[in-house]
Structure 1
Amino acid sequence: MDDIDREILFQLRQDGRLTNVELAKRVGLTPPPCLRRVKRLEDEGIITGYRARIDPAAASRGFEVMVAVEIRVNDLQTVEELETAIASYDEVIEFHRLFGRPDYLVRVAVEDPTVFETFLTTKLMGLRAVARVDSHLIMKKIKTDD
């Protein structure tokens, strides 16, 4: 990857709907070599897809919470079941296994505190491997890759 590839990635992160002609202009190439580079970045798995950015509040998901999850059981089957369950929840928009404590960090987006409480008590806390959850309300997003 060279500086032009990095600039292509930067421009596409800013606006994934850029036409090839506009992208080429912004990175200082003509359209055919620009398109070849984008195709190569896709083929190499560097560009993994394109998506729409959704306004969480407009989609009734403006209440976001970071949830730290600690588990009580560490056998592989239990961990896999837990991860499959949490990853399947529509409310979960980000999910990470961590080194050390907590074991997991889960970003949840729902409509309001009542919906979050229902999610927390009926789904997350109902998983047998979960020993402890700590919820942290997001006050303000400073920087995000969403």
Structure 2
Amino acid sequence: MAHNLDNIDKKILDELQRTGRLTNQELSDRIALSPSPCLRRVRALEKQGIITGYHAHVDQEKCGLPINVFVLVKLERPTEENMVKFEALIDQMDEVLECFLMTGSHDYLLRVVSESLKSYERFIRRELTRLPNIAAIESSFAFGQVKRQTRLPL
């Protein structure tokens, strides 16, 4: 469900996406709104589920996970029941950072991180291929990341 965001809401979201650790005073100064109504708006955006949380951006390589793999998965029978089961099992795999339901010849696109090719191979052999109802898995390795943006263009 789309929400009608006014310009002040968009400014609040833009600033919080840039720097999630802003104090309410800093945020209100940046968007030229007094602190009390600013805080009310932030709380309303949180309550509506538009702001879903706050997190730190962590350097993947410095944490020992330099490998990014994009994995296309095709299910043998993509029924609703099989999809729900697959998604619940994928949700439990820490290596899978993102999972998208897709159109086209594959059912899912996963973004998987790994410390090495060997550890990715273990993940494939011990976890992904053991899931029920898998028809095909295709892995593409990223050489590097050209752009990373988590800020939505509001």
Q: Under a length normalisation based on structure 1, what TM-score does the superposition of the two structures give?
A: 0.93
Pairwise CA RMSD of aligned residues? 1.4
From 132, 147, 150, give the equivalent of 1:145: 150
Specify the alignment match of 1:89 in structure 2: 93
Specify the alignment match of 2:125 in structure 1: 121
Amino acid at match of 1:27: I
Aligned counterparts of 1:33 and 1:75: Cα–Cα separation in 2 = 48
The one of the two structures with greater contact order (alpha-carbon pairs below 8 A, sep at least 6) is: 2
Specify the alignment match of 1:53 in structure 2: 57
1:78 deviates by 2.3
Aligned counterparts of 2:88 and 2:43: Cα–Cα separation in 1 = 32
Residue identity (%): 37
Amino acid at match of 1:90: D
Amino acid at match of 2:112: V
1:89 deviates by 0.4
Give ranges in structure 2 of 5+ residues lacking alignment: none
* Superposed CA offset, 1:102-145 (max 9, x none): 10000001111111111012111121211111111122321332
Give ranges in structure 1 of 5+ residues lacking alignment: none
1:84 deviates by 1.1
From 104, 108, 113, give the equivalent of 1:109: 113
Specify the alignment match of 1:3 in structure 2: 7
Aligned counterparts of 1:36 and 1:139: Cα–Cα separation in 2 = 44
Aligned counterparts of 1:75 and 1:44: Cα–Cα separation in 2 = 32
